[in-house]
Amino acid sequence: MTLIKSISGIRGTIGGSQGENLTPIDAVKYAAAYGSWVKKQRQKEEYRVVVGRDARISGEMVQQLVMNTLVGMGIHVIDLNLSTTPTVEMAVMMEHADGGIILTASHNPKQWNALKLLNKDGEFLNAEAGQEILNIAEAENINFSEVDDLGKITTNDAYIDLHIDEILELPLVNTSAIKKANLKVVVDGVNSTGGIAIPLLLKALGVQTVELFCEPTGEFPHNPEPLKEHLTDLMEKVVNENADFGIVVDPDVDRLAFVDEKGEMFGEEYTLVAVADYVLQHNPGNTVSNMSSSRALRDVTEKHNGTYTASAVGEVNVVQKMKDTKAVIGGEGNGGIIYPELHYGRDSLVGVALFLSHLAEEKISVSELRTRYPSYYMSKKKIELTPQLDVDKILKSIESKYASEEINTLDGVKIDFAENWVHLRKSNTEPIIRIYTEGPSQKDADTLADRFITEIKAVAEN
């Protein structure tokens, strides 16, 4: 059981001992630290924070603890209840709130939960702000409000609809073409809030929707990370229903993947590639993705005469690089679409709308669309960490060994070979080293990953 305190939020397993897991005491402690940080940002008479959650079983308990902690600090709370990460981000902007908290552990299994923290712009906190909140929590000298100055909780369950309304108004969302295409789509909502939001969006776009695991019970029917090995039910359903394609999201709806009409994975890395291709056709410009994402985005960007830039891993790093380069589209290769025309956050709903627009305008099948893009194959593996493992020393050793190659140490170690690449980094959210590779075939990518796993183990044993 684990509690991970990082600049990107507080993530842990439910139950167990205080300080070692995400217990009620830990939820209160870090919510109070966040509330204290919010009040430091601007001197005001009234503060407001938006709070929403995915459907995981512990969500309601953690949300009540977090909201009432903020109330105890004199902060007013806008309670979205069951929602999505991008919807909470949108709500912070639309409410002109001072911040937001999303209670979700993203793709982690049901025993996990987390506090994802947002600033007044509805964006994830940068490293400096995240560290300040951790420091406040450890100092444990937080001031709470007296009885006449307590905050209030206001429930607002309209924001998923408002989020969808904003998407439908985007110039590049071709609602008329989508409706004319008469598409049929299967949605795997992994029994979380994607099962609420994605069908609502599809119905608003006139898409016939077949729901699979769309009851927000929090009992995930399969591993909630949207990878091929977890999606056999969706693949079979698409074929059996004779659907045009399938959609799957993670529990908080910021990662998006597609299954084509043959029941084959479109490729999680190619979600961003296809959406970027569509956006760049209509609005040429620059793109950004993190260092662990496919080379295919670079290829598509250059095809449209734009400039591709790689950022460090982490949504806040992608967003900052997008702002720096004035990127028109960006995101992460794990199926995260960031479309600044709407907001600076990974958003599966806008990703679905733009992908549907692309498909409807091209009038081709999803499998045909996939053939338009370069064929790169990725392997994503990991090594569990032990307390004795000196990760920085291991990565430095690998860097030295491959000093003659093209190396990027912005985030871990990425080595670009002529035909493939490997990226080794310590996870911010789990006690693991991630090994990402990409090559011209799946065998090439897997072999490269296995080779570096062997090399890392050899260094660790010496």
The angle subtended at Cα 73 by Cα 71 and Cα 78, nearest 5°, is 35
Q: How far apart are CA 113 and CA 29, in angstroms?
A: 15
Residue 277: name the closest of 361, 386, 199 by CA: 361
The answer on pLDDT for 429 being more than 70 is: no
Q: Which pLDDT belongs to residue 140?
A: 77
Lowest-pLDDT range of 38-42, 244-248, 259-263 = 38-42
The answer on pLDDT for 6 being more than 80 is: no
Question: Looking at this protein, which amino acid is placed at residue 254?
Answer: D
Average pLDDT over residues 226-253: 96
How large a percentage of the chain has pLDDT more than 70? 98
Q: How far apart are CA 364 and CA 218, in angstroms?
A: 36
Residue 317: name the closest of 340, 288, 337, 295 by CA: 288
- What length does the chain have? 462
pLDDT digit string, tens, across residues 69-98: 999 999 999 999 999 999 999 999 999 999
pLDDT digit string, tens, across residues 191-206: 999 999 999 999 999 9
| C-beta neighbour count of 305 within 10 angstroms | 9
Tell me the HSE value of 187 on the side-chain side, using a 13 A CA sphere: 30
The angle subtended at Cα 341 by Cα 226 and Cα 245, nearest 5°, is 35
pTM above 0.85, yes or no: yes
The answer on pLDDT for 232 being more than 70 is: yes
Q: Which pLDDT belongs to residue 427?
A: 77
| Catalytic residue (choose from 36, 58, 83, 106) | 106
pLDDT digit string, tens, across residues 273-312: 999 999 999 999 999 999 999 999 999 999 999 999 999 9
Lowest-pLDDT range of 191-195, 431-435, 448-452 = 431-435
- Output the six-digit token pair for 311: 């950022």
Q: Which residue has the tokens 């369950």?
A: 157
Q: How far apart are CA 288 and CA 330, in angstroms?
A: 5
**Residue 106 among the catalytic residues:** yes
Average pLDDT over residues 159-175: 98
Q: How confident is the model at residue 428 (pLDDT cuts 50, 70, 90)?
A: low
Q: Are strands 287-290 and 256-259 parallel, antiparallel or unpaired?
A: unpaired
The answer on pLDDT for 387 being more than 80 is: no
**Domains (range + CATH), the chain:** 3-157 (3.40.120.10), 162-370 (3.40.120.10), 377-461 (3.30.310.50)
